[in-house]
Structure formats: structure tokens, C-alpha cells
Structure 1
Amino acid sequence: MTEHPTVADRAARGKAARTDTPLTSLREWQPAPDRPDPVALLEEQNLTRETDLVPVRHGRMMVSPFTFYRGAAKIMASDLRHIPRAGLITQLCGDAHLSNFGVYASPERNLLFDLNDFDETLPGPFEYDVLRMSASFTIAARNNGFAAADIRAVTLASVRAYREAMAEFAAMRTLDVWYARLSEKELVEALGAARGTQKGKAARKASKAVEKNTLRGAEKARSRDSLQALAKLAEFVDGRYRIVSQPPIVVPAREMAVSLGFTPEATEAAVRSQLQAYRETLQADRRQLLERFEVVDVAHKVVGVGSVGNRAFIALLQGRDEQDPLFLQVKEATSSVLEDHLPVSEYEQPGERVVQGQRLMQAASDIFLGWTRGVQEGRFLYWRQLRDMKGSAVVEAMVPLGMTLYANACGWTLARAHARAGDPVALAAYLGSSDKFDRSVTDFSQRYADQNERDYQAFLDAVRTGRLVARAGV
């Protein structure tokens, strides 16, 4: 039976953790003396990826230190195993960099801002996600050419928002924490309030521009649904829609079948079998909803930066007629990069690990989240909607004020996710009311950004010497 310590006991546990792990313990971070070769870690990951797509992954990581960081979750996971930890465990996103936050539609069709990538999710020390997030702000701000003071301010804002939000959640009733969310309305209100605090004409103008861009982004996200995907990804041939071939990014099943030696009948049988297995992982009402759709076409589709090379597919389903589409995305799930040193997941199937972690951490989740075993032995998949009013910020276009406001939203959101899955009272008691933790994490982030730049240079050198092959611009 689960124990239920008092609020006072929970707070005492958090405060006691400061004895062994002071709030300032992260500020002097240094890479371990026996730190693995970062390029070797990437090569190790590449062993399980599709060989012809690995150069595409490298090409996307080559763009900047920031894009490299996005694809280097395994490298940072290796570094995090050596950091001081307070012993406060929660469900981790596992890859909480700032581009893995964004908007999407709740089942009630409201836009929410939340974490949106859970490929690496696993229970673990809360610091892992905070450091992954904060370092991403330092690296992105450097990449955008911000002044040193602005870089530090942006990073501090993300950690301060996390700490202050956790204090709020610690004082809330349990169900209020569970139902907390950051909606479009609340996001816009926060931007409006921030505009009111700006001093000077230039600052107010910049704040208004940030608010305008946010509203424009929300409007764009609302248009990103299956009908929009149909117009972009499909063509009408012989009386029905099919997915357009755009190799190597999109390769329809009809072409994969030829290259792999599958007959059309074998391909259709595999798709039907996968869909049936996926259906069984859905809630009963959603299984019935899915039954109203039939599969029309399937294709391989390359996505993201860190995920490139893992198997990823899209499936076009049709409801009542050709103008009633449903696009599902099917992504390969592998072991979390954190499982190299943290306890392995309680879920034997990595796809279920991803889905259950997402459901636990998000304020509301996609109604079509599910998982299957792949056709090939040892392959595991998870399913979700391809475009469900999803939108993300253009980080490279952010100015200091915009990134600071975005950092506030990300910090609050990460705290809310950790509060749902962990103990907000203990976490808040550990973090305290001073800015010691904020400054310590910001110092870590600056040091880690330096390390990331060294790793990025080693990566570029590996490409230049032919150790790694890269295909840019894809």
C-alpha cells in the first residue's frame, strides 16, 4: 500500500536533501576525467538506425551548436550521470530542450502549451530535465547572437519560473495540480501583462511584436490538422487519395514494397496486423472511433533532428469520404538514453514507456496515443496523430524579450509536469525561496554550453575527416 506522509514530512525531506546536495552544487560542473568520446556515443546510437538516413541526421545536426545539442541527448545523458543529485525523483521528459515544448489541441479542441516529445521519458532525478532545459536556453541564446547579459537573463528566467511554479504547486490541492494547464488564453494574458511592465517605447514595441507573433503562431497551429496534411502530403489519383512520394523524406509503401521485395498483399497484411494491434492499446471508446476509419495509404517519413534514422511512418486513414482524413504518425521507440545508467523502465515495450510517460506528464494527451511491436523482431512503435493543431516556436527568430517570455512558459510547464508525477512539496522545499538554485543551474548551463561547442567542433571534425558522413540540406 502506498504511504502518505504528511505535508510537513514531505517538506522536511526536501529541506534535508540540501545537506548532501547544496543548492549551489551544480555551479562548478566539469566534464568527468573519463568522459566518453562524444562522436563515439553518436556512432553507437547510429548502429540501430537506418543506414541511409544517418547522414541526413548528421546533416541536420551540423547546422549549428544548437541543432547539434538537439540531437545530442545521449551525450548529455552520459554527462548527467555524474552530477550531484538531491534524490528527488519524478517522471522525466528526458529531452526537455526548449524546442520540445509547443502547442497542440486538447481533446476539447483547446490549444495547450506543453512538452511534446517523450522519446526518452523515464523516472529519474528532477535535475536532469531542468539542466537539459536551461542549457538549451543558453545555447540557443548564444546561437541567436544575444549579449552575454541577455544570455544569462534568459537562462535564469527559465529556472526561476520552474522554482517559483513548483512553490505554487506545492501549496495547491492534489487535483488542482493535476488539472493545471497553460492554455492559449492564459499564455496571451501573460504576454499582455508582460507588455504592461515594459519601460520605454522600444521595449513596449518589442513586447507587442512578441504578442503578435504568438497570436499568429497560434492561428497557424489551428490550421495544422489532417485536412491540411492531406493537401500537403497527398494527391488524388484514380478516384482516391494517396501519399505523395518525396524521397528520401517521404517514401510511400508502394515504393518501399518494391525496394524491399514485398508483394502488395504482404504489405497490406502487415499494415492491417499493425493497425489491429495498435487498436487494442486504445481505450474502448477510442477503439470504436478508430473503427470508423479505413487505411488508405502508408509511407515512411523522416522527422526531427534527434529522431532521424529511427523508423517513422505516416498512415492516411479515411472516414466518411475523401474529405474526412485522419493522419497518424508511427514512430520507432527504442530504449531511453537515460536507461544506460538509471533503472530500466517498468514497461517492457519501449512504445508503451513513451505513451505512459506522455500521459503522466502532459496536461492532456492525444486521444490516439497507442503502441505496437514492429513487424521486424526487436522493433517497437508508438502511434499518435500527425497533426493535431501542433505548433512550435521558431527559436532562431527569437529576440531576448521573446525568448525570456518563452523561458517563463517552459519553466512553468516543466514544473507542472514534474509536480504531476513527483512530489511538489519536497521539490519546492528543496528549491527554496532564494535564487541560489537558479544561479547555480545558470552557471552549469554556461559551462555546459562551452562543452557543447567543443563537442560540436569534434563532430564537425569527424565529418570533415570522413569518420562520419553527413548529407546537408535535407
Structure 2
Amino acid sequence: MTAMATQQTHPSVDERRARGEKARETTPPSSHAGWCPATDRPDPVELLAEQNTSREPDLVPVRHGRMMVSPFTFYRGAARIMATDLKDTPVAGLDAQLCGDAHLSNFGVFASPERRLVFDLNDFDETLPGPFEYDVKRMAASFTIAGRNNGFSAADTRAVTTASVRAYREAMAEFAGMGTMDIWYAHMDEDTIKDAMRRTVAETKKAAKGPKQKGAKREEKVAKDAQRKAVKAAEKARTRDSLQALSKLGEMVDGAYRIVNQPPIVVPVREWATTYRSALEGRYGVTAEEVMPAIRDQFRAYRATLQPDRRHLLEHFEIVDAARKVVGVGSVGTRAFIVLLQGRDARDPLFLQIKEATSSVLEGHLPRSRYRNHGERVVQGQRLLQATSDIYLGWTKGFDARRHFYWRQLRDMKGSIVVEGMKPLGLEFFAGMCGWTLARAHARSGDPVAIDVCLGADEAFDAAVTDFAERYADQNERDYQQFVAAVRSGRVAAVEGV
């Protein structure tokens, strides 16, 4: 469903500031501190079980196994749990388009259409308009949990968390003073990141010549190591394209490429007749022989959601194979597929990913999306939040018309950080990048002037959200332990190491 045109109002900057002042009065920054779980808080294991009812039964244990790895991986899969907790937290009444799951692993690099690496949010399954505080708290808590998971001291963990919130607040102040088009074009590319890292290295090098040389020299070494790893990660991201995916996921048979069978992670359609026949006929409503024709029908419907020039480009490719592919942590069990397409010849591949879009975890507590197709909800939210988006973003319905999907490139120079093993200085630098990026996303869709005034110029908001993050990390640890106990007791099935 396309959003209907509405009469737009254009309040003055003074009126927007007044709105921010009123919001700050009714919801002071300090009100975000002191969080404690509701007395009637639902059982977190039951909330996860409710999500599993619409997921692929054979993959649910895989999801659980991935969540069992650590409190951090549990947090990644627990967006539904946190959405339930956030509904009772203070909000200022200033909405923006939310990512809905803004933990630190959902930020990363990918290629812009101009083939430049950009850093941005990269997961929008839960996107929905709502209170900007929800995203900030989800992000901040992820840094606290990651810091603890990496064995940081309490002081270092707090510094990393605060850095993410401070970066958000200071960036919002920057956007509040910018023109509308300047905000829209603002982005963080690889040159911006490299320049910032060079400044950090220079600062630590200068400090190493000061009175506290021992600790400063150690920080200089850490900064240089982080810079080296960032350059290496960027180089690796540049190699992650459809041709590289073909080398990992494809095999040549009788002169043509097809997708390799790697169960349970990757299962090509040709294997479904024996592996998923009952599931296809029972849950999917199609026979094995009908799958590829159905995918081609959906491909044509998906193409119709693209801009004409991109549709024309995609028409140069033909589908040659398809497979089910398990992805992520929180997404495991939802229906996800990959499609191998061929352009001019077998050495001109294009991999597209098809991911199921269910209702956002926030829709149980916020107004439902204006889009009836959740695939469109995800795509439109992504386009609004990202500085630049995949040219092949589109949506369609599934074999079962009640299920919705969105399409995108499987790999387009996508890269993300490896959180485990990061040092405090490196994670603090990354926290600043994430905070700035989240503020830019909210400034595009919300009112940066009002939000800036609401946050204030002091550190009250930073301190309060950091306090929330620490308290929520404690609760996440308790939830994780309860979840692991449920697995060990046999209440919840899990397959580890997949």
C-alpha cells in the first residue's frame, strides 16, 4: 500500500525548538536512568517461543544454538524481548523512523551505487516509526553487553557505552544546525573513517610523548593495530561481491554453475524433493516441481517494484538456480533464500537474497505500519534511514500470499566488525561511528532541531542512557542464563555450532 499524501505543516525553527523544550520539560534526560523490569514482565523464553511458531521448525534449534554462544549473541536475537521492555520506558514524544534493532552488529560497510564503501545501518527487519529513544537504548545496551563480553573493566565498558550516546547527542546538535538537503546528503564513507582514525593515532602518538608515557604508548599501539585492522577489513569488504560468492556457494556442473548443497545452511531447490517434500506441500503449499516456476513468478513481481532503470538492468539477468540459506541470529528460522542469476555468461553472476519480512517486534506496542506488505515496510524504512541503498531493493509476496519478502543483493562489498577481541579504544571509536550514524538516520526522518533541544548540551542524557544500558545488560544476563537453563533442561531445543 502506498502512503496517502497528507497536508504538510512547516513550523519555524523557533516553533521546533519550543517543541523540544516542552519535551525536555515533560521527559527530562535524567528520567532515562534507574530502569528496572516491570513486575509483570513476560517470561523471555516464552516470548522467543511465540516468535518461533511461524518459523521453519528444523531451523529453530539452530537459532537457539546461535543465541546460546554468549550473552551478546543472545541479545542479538532478543529484539522481541527488549521491545516489550522498552514500551514502558520514558519517551519525549519525538518520533523518527526507527531501525528497530540498532545493536552494534547491525552497523557496517557496503558499497554505494558509485562503488564507494560507506558505513551505515544495515538491518531493517524491525523498522517502524517510533520514539527515537528506543533505538538509542538498543544501541547503547549492545555496547555495554559487548564490553562485558570482551572482558573490559567496568570503567572501560562505561566509557565505550557513553561514547555511543555522546556521539548521537553531539551529532544531532550538528544536524540541527544544517540545511535540509545537507542532512539528506550527509554520509560516512571510507575516507571519512580513515581520516578520523589517522587523527586518533596522531593523538595517541602525541600523548605517548607526554608525562604518562607507559599507558599512552600502549594506547598508541592499540590505535595503530585498530587502524591496520580497519584497512584490512575494508580491503576484504571490496572482495565480497557476487563473483566471490560464486566461488564459495557455486559449483560448475556440465558447463553451468549451480548452488552447492551445504545442509542445513544452504539447501538448493533441486534437493527439496527429498529433503522438504512434506514441508513444501504442508507449509509452503507447493510441490517440489512447482518451486522454481513459483520463484520466477515472484521474480517478475519483485522487478515491478523497482525503478524503471533498475528494472531494465535486472532484465539482463536470468535465474539459473535458487536455494534456502540460513542467515544471522535473530532471523534464523524465518524463510530466507538466495537466487543465482547469470548475465552475459557464467562468469557474470548476480546473487540476490530473498528474506521473509514478518511484522516488526515494535508493532505490538506502537501503531502498525502503514504498509500492508512487510517487505515494503522494510524497503521503505531502509531507504529513509540509509544515506544510500542497494539498487536492487524490492519486495514481493511468497508462495503463500500471507507471507511477505524483500529482495536485495546478497553481497555488495558488505563488511562488519568482529566485536569479540576488540580492545576498549577500538570499540570506543566504533561506538562514536555508530552514534553519529544513528543520529543521521533519525535526523533524516525526524526533527533534529526538536530532538537536539530535548537532549540538551550537557551530559545528562549520556549518563542516564548509560545507566539504563548497564541495568539492561544485567537483565540480559539474567535472561540469557534463564534461556540456557531452558535448553539444558530440555524445555527448549538447540543445535550448537551450526
* TM-score, normalisation: structure 2: 0.94
**Cross-structure match for 1:215:** 231
Cα deviation code 1:153-212 (max 9, x no counterpart)? 000000000000000000000000000000000011011111122222221111111111
SS of equivalent to 1:172: coil
Pairwise CA distance, 1:266: 1.8
**Cross-structure match for 2:472:** 448
Q: Distance in 1 between matches of 2:276 and 2:338?
A: 18
SS of equivalent to 1:389: coil
The answer to whether residue 24 in structure 2 is matched with residue 18 in structure 1 is yes
Q: Distance in 1 between matches of 2:352 and 2:433?
A: 28
2:42 to 36, 61, 78: 36
User: 5+ unaligned residues in a row in structure 2: which ranges?
Assistant: 1-6, 209-216, 278-285
User: 5+ unaligned residues in a row in structure 1: which ranges?
Assistant: none
The answer to whether residue 273 in structure 2 is matched with residue 257 in structure 1 is yes
**Cross-structure match for 1:372:** 396
Tell me how many residue pairs correspond in the alignment: 474
Pairwise CA distance, 1:312: 0.4
Which residues of 2 match residues 62-461 of structure 1 at below 5 A?
Answer: 62-198=68-204, 199-200=207-208, 201-261=217-277, 265-461=289-485
- Counterpart of 2:130, as a letter, is G
Contact map agreement 2:323 2:339 (CA 8 A) in 1: yes
Pairwise CA distance, 1:15: 1.3
Q: Distance in 2 between matches of 1:327 and 1:397?
A: 31
SS of equivalent to 2:58: helix
Which deviates further from its counterpart, 194-203 or 267-276? Answer: 194-203
Cα deviation code 1:424-443 (max 9, x no counterpart)? 00011111110000000000
SS of equivalent to 1:114: strand
Moved over 6 A (4+): none
Cα deviation code 1:379-407 (max 9, x no counterpart)? 11000000000000000121000000000
Contact map agreement 2:166 2:435 (CA 8 A) in 1: yes
Contact map agreement 1:207 1:402 (CA 8 A) in 2: yes
SS of equivalent to 2:30: coil
Q: Distance in 1 between matches of 2:292 and 2:259?
A: 15
Cα deviation code 1:293-346 (max 9, x no counterpart)? 000100000000000000000000000001100000000000000000100000
Pairwise CA distance, 1:264: 6.2
SS of equivalent to 1:395: coil
Q: Distance in 1 between matches of 2:330 and 2:444?
A: 26
Which deviates further from its counterpart, 268-277 or 36-45? Answer: 268-277
Contact map agreement 1:250 1:300 (CA 8 A) in 2: yes
Contact map agreement 1:257 1:267 (CA 8 A) in 2: no
- Counterpart of 2:407, as a letter, is W
Pairwise CA distance, 1:260: 3.9
Q: Distance in 1 between matches of 2:320 and 2:383?
A: 28
SS of equivalent to 1:25: helix
Percent identity between matched residues is: 67
Pairwise CA distance, 1:272: 1.2
**Cross-structure match for 2:489:** 465
**Cross-structure match for 2:56:** 50
- Counterpart of 2:411, as a letter, is R
Pairwise CA distance, 1:121: 0.1
Cα deviation code 1:31-67 (max 9, x no counterpart)? 0111000000000000011000000000000000000
